[in-house]
A and B are shown apart, each in its own frame.
Chain A
Amino acid sequence: MELKEKIADEKLNINRRHFFSKLSVGLGTVALGSLMIPDLFKRGGAGIEEGMLKVGIPHFAPKAKRIIYLFQAGAPSQFESFDYKPLLRERMGEDLPESIRNGQRLTGMTASQDSFPLVAPFSGFKQYGQNGTWINDYFPYTGKIVDEICIINSMHTEAINHDPAITFFQTGNQNSGRPSMGSWMSYGLGSENKNLPAFVVLTSRGKGNSQGLYSKLWSSGFLNSKHQGVLLRSGKDPVLYLNDPAGVSREDKRVIIDKIAELNDQHYKQTGDEEIKSRIAQYEMAFRMQMSVPEVMDIKKEPESIIKMYGAEALIPGTFAANCLQARRLAENGVRFIQLYHQGWDQHGNLPGEMSMQALDVDQASAALVLDLKQRGMLDDTLVIWGGEFGRTNYCQGRFRPDNYGRDHHPRSFSIWMAGGGVKKGITYGQTDEFGYNIVKDPVHINDFHATLLHLMGVNHEHLTYKYQGRRFRLTDVAGNVVKGILA
């Protein structure tokens, strides 16, 4: 279609094709709908928005109302955390049998390596909790809450490098451009608090080797931009450009926003571009966020016992501990999806040293968050997730040294944990072989993971769709099964 025609079409908000397709669907739905929804013909009755799907309300009673995702960017090693493999110590230094590796592709970093010596974790493992779950000594506090969490040792992905892997985790596709899962949640379930974004992002950085984070990871893709994740920064201005400039009072700001909204509205009437409407709404939201964000981010009222639980680092803005505490405050204030990223888990070398520092950054605060939610009765309807984008190899990258080694990327198996929000407590799900290389029981693919998350939030992942470029898209695209084994 010519651009001019397109614009002319947009003005009408609807063209001939839309008209016929909407008319037919509309009338049919009205007829059928009137039989099922008594409210339908009352004024302003049950609306049908954004295609056939009534978005903004769960499909069924949800277990989880919100998600706090503690993303460990860079991929922490499962062998120094939750996948206990004593065989690695027995066969330390031996080459990984080819029958186990079985043609797994390698990254550019180990492709030229002529041997793959198995390496055991430098740190020890202890048993915790009622089921005696083995957890690495780097994570003693996670050990204390092991009866509250569900460890999945059988996650697997297809990507072998950071960017595609993390994009896959966040959007359900290795190529960028799809909406982030927080955006899907915001689109599908709406916001509980109209004064805060439904999808919030907090970042922190450890001392270990780290990889980049990009705002595309919390982009709303083809969904309306109001579903985009909002990055809250540490320090004085959590959201950039939110404060009034010097000399502009809040009353003036109100007038400015109203006038701009009028202009935008005119523009909307001319072009019919939905994004203009969401822009108007965003300005309104930003105006309210000027009041709500500083209040939520202010931790001065938190009692000392809480600070002590999360660790004193919680007092230092921008640390993982501080972000965990913020995450709880945001959750209490009705934010639907709170995404934390902690960078620095890419241990290709110096693993023992770096991993211990990284674990020190996150272990106590992650455990404290789970317990804090529990003592507030929020763990039942808040899902906490902890994990990275893939696993690490059971063999050593580079020269073999038992006391200072590195591990390369490994997509075939890795570990994450979840807590609360309708997930079973105190279990370990899935299993890898003795080498910790391949999954032997209950594999969980990223698509399955997404399907399960949506299920816990009261959404059928096959029904949460958005039509774009001629076809309906889902977070799970054309795959994904709910992992029934972890549902409480």
Chain B
Amino acid sequence: MRLKVVKIFFDFGIYSLAILLAFFLVFERYLELPSLVRWLGHWHLLILHFPIVMILVTIVQYWRNDKAFSWYLSLTTLLTLVSAITGLLLSLEGGAKGDLILTHQWLGVSVAFLMSSWYWFSQNLSIPKVYFKVIQSGLVVLIVLTGHYGGMVTHGKEFLTFDPTGSDETTIISENPNIYTNIVQPVLDKKCVSCHNTNKSKGELVLGNFTSLMKGGESGSLVDVDNPGKSELLQRIQFPIDHEDHMPPEEEKQLTEVELGIIKGWVEQGAPGELYFSELIDTIPLYSIVQSKIEESKKSTWSHLPEISDDRINELSSVYCTIRRIYSNTNALQILVFPHSSYSPELLRNLKPIAKNIVELNLSNLPLSSDELKTISSFSNIEILKMSGTPINDDDFKSIGNLGNLSILKVYDTQLGDGAIGQLTALSGLKELYIYNTLFTKEGISDLIHKKEGLNVVTISDKALEFKSVLPLSEVEPLKYFFREPFFVKLKHPLDGIDLNYTIDGSVPDINSPVKEDSIFIDKRMLLKYFASKTGWGSSEVDSVLYLKSTRAPDEYELGEKPNLKFGERVNSLLFDLEKGPDNFDDDAWMAFRNENFVLSCSWNEAVNLESVILSSLIHPDPYIFPPSSIEIRGGLDEDNLKPLGSLRPSQLSERQNQQLKYFECNVESTPIKYIKIIVRPLQKIPMWHQGKGERGWFFIDEVIFQERTSAKPI
């Protein structure tokens, strides 16, 4: 009874799985599987082995008439179906299916359905035995084929093909290979020479070397230089595989796409014997094929490096020592060490266990000595070494040893010089040497280039020498424009060795003008003009500073109308604080007037005689800041009886300009005064060219300077 239940279970299991398999096959394209189901597919690689054995066992059991045969049959059918379904699930993972997978899939599916039909027929006792014989032999054949294709899917097409020559994929190709010798001939050797050699020259053709290839065979020359596309060689390899004249013959190993590309590209170049990679134009397909061959060859050189685990890498890494694989799964390592206070040569010695894996090492800006160089000499696979900005010199460099793989060495910004030429020459693989800003002499460099052919020595770029640079302006310290007490200023420049010439008499300075003294004494109104010069540089522009001496601040002062509050509150004392505002009108240094006049009344306890009144102002037409329309000065000894002493109507702007700091200087009649009143009217109507035409302009002021009359005429 219980057995019957199990039997029913098997029946149902087999039918439903068969239906499921059929369903998957039909709707494969529309399937979007959850990851758990997809994961089941991964078990295909394990499960598939059971049906292979079980089917064979079942066949044997059938002929032995074993009692348990029906159980074998049920179990095997079930396993076969499970195996087929998981296989199908696995195949859905890899994107588009290749021919191999498709063949394997349909063979596998056939096995599953054939097995199911055996199961189905075996329920019916009236079926003649011959049917089973057919099914069984079919199964055996199919299993062999399915297994064969399956093996090729997992291990590659070539895996099951016996190749007595062994794999020669790892031939080392130099950086600049000869296209025929290093690229084309290996293809011919692999795919053609077995039939076209001096012993066995089918079609009287020998493809073992360039001369015999050029000679051609019984159907004439292989290459048509004038019309490469029509060449016999190209036509033969490009015929469809079932074409009678197709080469290699159908039953032989065919050219891969890359190999086809190589021969095609080479013939299209006119099939030259002496053509090097560096001569190829980089837009043709042959270029990229050869380039990837070179890179492959490079990778294969790295494939000999000892295995290294991520663990080991993490162990040896620190925040100041970055160790990375050059790309995903290679054992070639790139190591960068960054300067830090606790650095010691010990760090490098600790890397000795992985010495063979180090391909790139960056030790720039570290305090290196011969100690480290000794350690480095054991890093035998190193290809790129950077030691720029380190204190190494010729003596230290003697410890470098012979690193045969070292191809790029960077020692710019060091004390290395001609004394290192001996060691450099001994580095047999050296291709590029960077020695910008070192002690090498011109003679030394040409000697080195002479001794080591093909070495690219990079010093300062010739182009860079054409770069001209104009010196920046000097800075004047302190930054001060208005003063009451005399003071000193200094000219400063960010570069060393600069000549700073200046004048204080208003004339334009030249190189004969006084050279910068330590400090320049400012005791009166003075126009300082200066510029910087240095050999090899363009001289800086001439810049100037006008120093304005103000008489003592008035003892009392008062504004007639308050400044416009749009820019916030201001204290009146800022008009006499000797600070110059910046060219940004939004700064607290500025007072603004527009609908109100600037009316300033000042008084001194003792009379003064003024030469002029200077208003420090700002002009910036974009935000409507213009010169005022008029400035009027009244003064006298009697507060209630002020006489006009001077006036000014500043010229207006005729076009847009950028912001500019501006002094308005109004001369004053010579007379002793105790009281003064300054009236400034902002511009009433902005000129027509401005977008605010007809509106009022703003007047901005940050300082009022009263210049006292002296005997000397001001500049």
How far apart are the CA atoms of A368 and B537 in the complex, in Å? 16
How far apart are the CA atoms of A320 and B341 in the complex, in Å? 31
Interface residues of B in 131-178 (CB under 8 A from A): none
Interface residues of A in 347-374 (CB under 8 A from B): 364, 367-368, 371-372, 374
How far apart are the CA atoms of A31 and B322 in the complex, in Å? 31
Of B39, B328, B464, B467, which one neighbours A24 at CB under 8 angstroms?
B39
Of B464, B472, B496, which one neighbours A312 at CB under 8 angstroms?
B472
How far apart are the CA atoms of A424 and B38 in the complex, in Å? 43
How far apart are the CA atoms of A305 and B339 in the complex, in Å? 24
Q: Which A residues touch B495, using CB under 8 A?
A: 304, 307, 312, 315
Given contact pairs A45-B311, A144-B466, A368-B464, A375 touches B39 in the complex (Cβ within 8 A)? no
Q: Which B residues touch A307, using CB under 8 A?
A: 469, 495
B467 contacts A39, CB within 8 Å? no
Of B328, B389, B459, which one neighbours A60 at CB under 8 angstroms?
B328
Q: Is A62 interfacial (CB-CB < 8 Å)?
A: yes
Q: Is A192 interfacial (CB-CB < 8 Å)?
A: yes
Given contact pairs A25-B35, A376-B436, A61 touches B326 in the complex (Cβ within 8 A)? yes
Q: Is B320 interfacial (CB-CB < 8 Å)?
A: yes
Q: Which A residues touch B501, using CB under 8 A?
A: none
Q: Is B338 interfacial (CB-CB < 8 Å)?
A: yes
User: Residues 614-655 of chain B: 1 if any A CB is under 8 Å from the residue's CB, otherwise 0?
Assistant: 000000000000000000000000000000000000000000
How far apart are the CA atoms of A313 and B36 in the complex, in Å? 62
How far apart are the CA atoms of A194 and B38 in the complex, in Å? 39
Q: Is A488 interfacial (CB-CB < 8 Å)?
A: yes
> B6 to nearest A CB, angstroms?
30
Interface residues of A in 267-319 (CB under 8 A from B): 288, 291-292, 295, 301, 303-305, 307-313, 315-316
B461 contacts A28, CB within 8 Å? no
User: Residues 591-629 of chain B: 1 if any A CB is under 8 Å from the residue's CB, otherwise 0?
Assistant: 000000000000000000000000000000000000000
A376 contacts B327, CB within 8 Å? no
B311 contacts A43, CB within 8 Å? yes
Q: Which A residues touch B414, using CB under 8 A?
A: none
Q: Is B536 interfacial (CB-CB < 8 Å)?
A: yes
Q: Is A103 interfacial (CB-CB < 8 Å)?
A: no
Size category, A interface = 35 or more
> B49 to nearest A CB, angstroms?
15
Q: Is A47 interfacial (CB-CB < 8 Å)?
A: yes
How far apart are the CA atoms of A305 and B461 in the complex, in Å? 11
- Among B38, B295, B467, max chain A CB count under 10 A is at B467
> B211 to nearest A CB, angstroms?
35
User: Residues 398-415 of chain A: 1 if any B CB is under 8 Å from the residue's CB, otherwise 0?
Assistant: 000000000000000000
Q: Is B100 interfacial (CB-CB < 8 Å)?
A: no
A308 contacts B282, CB within 8 Å? no
Q: Is A106 interfacial (CB-CB < 8 Å)?
A: no
B327 contacts A375, CB within 8 Å? no
A375 contacts B464, CB within 8 Å? yes
How far apart are the CA atoms of A46 and B388 in the complex, in Å? 33
How far apart are the CA atoms of A45 and B495 in the complex, in Å? 54
Q: Is B714 interfacial (CB-CB < 8 Å)?
A: no
A31 contacts B310, CB within 8 Å? no
Given contact pairs A44-B314, A332-B364, A458 touches B327 in the complex (Cβ within 8 A)? yes
Q: Is A195 interfacial (CB-CB < 8 Å)?
A: yes
Q: Is B325 interfacial (CB-CB < 8 Å)?
A: yes
B467 contacts A368, CB within 8 Å? yes
Q: Is B329 interfacial (CB-CB < 8 Å)?
A: yes
User: Residues 436-463 of chain B: 1 if any A CB is under 8 Å from the residue's CB, otherwise 0?
Assistant: 1100000000000000000000111101
How far apart are the CA atoms of A60 and B328 in the complex, in Å? 7
How far apart are the CA atoms of A195 and B342 in the complex, in Å? 14
- Among A27, A305, A377, max chain B CB count under 10 A is at A377
A28 contacts B469, CB within 8 Å? no
> B297 to nearest A CB, angstroms?
13
A305 contacts B326, CB within 8 Å? no
Q: Is A249 interfacial (CB-CB < 8 Å)?
A: no
Given contact pairs A303-B437, A311-B469, A377-B434, A371 touches B463 in the complex (Cβ within 8 A)? yes
Q: Which A residues touch B339, using CB under 8 A?
A: 295
How far apart are the CA atoms of A367 and B322 in the complex, in Å? 31
Interface residues of B in 275-312 (CB under 8 A from A): 282, 295, 299, 307, 309-311
Q: Which A residues touch B510, using CB under 8 A?
A: none
Q: Is A21 interfacial (CB-CB < 8 Å)?
A: yes
Q: Which B residues touch A313, using CB under 8 A?
A: 472
The closest CB in chain A to the CB of B433 belongs to A377
> A65 to nearest B CB, angstroms?
9
Q: How many residues of B contact A (CB 8 A)?
A: 57
A39 contacts B309, CB within 8 Å? yes
Given contact pairs A39-B310, A288-B319, A315-B495, A59 touches B327 in the complex (Cβ within 8 A)? yes
Interface residues of A in 112-154 (CB under 8 A from B): 141, 144-145
Of B322, B432, B494, which one neighbours A334 at CB under 8 angstroms?
B322
Of A24, A31, A42, A376, which one neighbours B311 at CB under 8 angstroms?
A42
A54 contacts B328, CB within 8 Å? yes
How far apart are the CA atoms of A235 and B310 in the complex, in Å? 41
Q: Is A222 interfacial (CB-CB < 8 Å)?
A: no
Q: Is B471 interfacial (CB-CB < 8 Å)?
A: yes
B432 contacts A377, CB within 8 Å? yes
Q: Which A residues touch B329, using CB under 8 A?
A: 37
Q: Is B352 interfacial (CB-CB < 8 Å)?
A: no
How far apart are the CA atoms of A481 and B207 in the complex, in Å? 41
Q: Is B196 interfacial (CB-CB < 8 Å)?
A: no
Q: Which B residues touch A301, using CB under 8 A?
A: 389
B324 contacts A374, CB within 8 Å? no
A57 contacts B325, CB within 8 Å? yes
Q: Is B230 interfacial (CB-CB < 8 Å)?
A: no
User: Residues 322-361 of chain A: 1 if any B CB is under 8 Å from the residue's CB, otherwise 0?
Assistant: 0000000000111000000000000000000000000000
B336 contacts A308, CB within 8 Å? no
The closest CB in chain A to the CB of B494 belongs to A315
B38 contacts A28, CB within 8 Å? yes
B322 contacts A194, CB within 8 Å? yes
> A81 to nearest B CB, angstroms?
19
Of B310, B464, B472, which one neighbours A372 at CB under 8 angstroms?
B464
Q: Is B97 interfacial (CB-CB < 8 Å)?
A: no
A44 contacts B310, CB within 8 Å? yes
User: Residues 446-488 of chain A: 1 if any B CB is under 8 Å from the residue's CB, otherwise 0?
Assistant: 0000000000001000000000000000000000000000001
Given contact pairs A195-B338, A377-B410, A377-B434, A20 touches B36 in the complex (Cβ within 8 A)? yes
Q: Is B379 interfacial (CB-CB < 8 Å)?
A: no
> A169 to nearest B CB, angstroms?
28
Q: Is A15 interfacial (CB-CB < 8 Å)?
A: no
The closest CB in chain B to the CB of A46 belongs to B310
A312 contacts B328, CB within 8 Å? no
- Among B314, B336, B463, B495, max chain A CB count under 10 A is at B463
How far apart are the CA atoms of A35 and B42 in the complex, in Å? 11
> B495 to nearest A CB, angstroms?
7
The closest CB in chain A to the CB of B656 belongs to A350
A31 contacts B408, CB within 8 Å? no
> B358 to nearest A CB, angstroms?
15
User: Residues 337-357 of chain B: 1 if any A CB is under 8 Å from the residue's CB, otherwise 0?
Assistant: 011110000000000000000
B412 contacts A376, CB within 8 Å? yes
A312 contacts B295, CB within 8 Å? no
How far apart are the CA atoms of A334 and B458 in the complex, in Å? 22
Q: A residues within 8 Å of B by Cβ?
A: 20-21, 24-25, 27-28, 31-32, 35, 37-39, 42-47, 54, 57-62, 141, 144-145, 190-195, 288, 291-292, 295, 301, 303-305, 307-313, 315-316, 332-334, 364, 367-368, 371-372, 374-377, 424, 458, 488
A-B contact pairs, 16 of them (CB 8 A): A21-B35, A28-B38, A47-B310, A61-B326, A144-B466, A192-B322, A193-B336, A194-B319, A194-B322, A195-B320, A195-B338, A303-B437, A308-B536, A310-B469, A372-B464, A375-B412
Given contact pairs A20-B36, A31-B43, enumerate 11 new A-B contacts (beta carbons under 8 Å). Answer: A24-B38, A28-B38, A45-B311, A60-B327, A305-B464, A307-B495, A332-B364, A368-B464, A375-B412, A376-B388, A376-B412
Enumerate the 7 nearest inter-chain pairs by beta-carbon distance, A residue then B residue, closest first: A28-B39, A24-B36, A315-B494, A312-B472, A24-B39, A194-B319, A308-B469
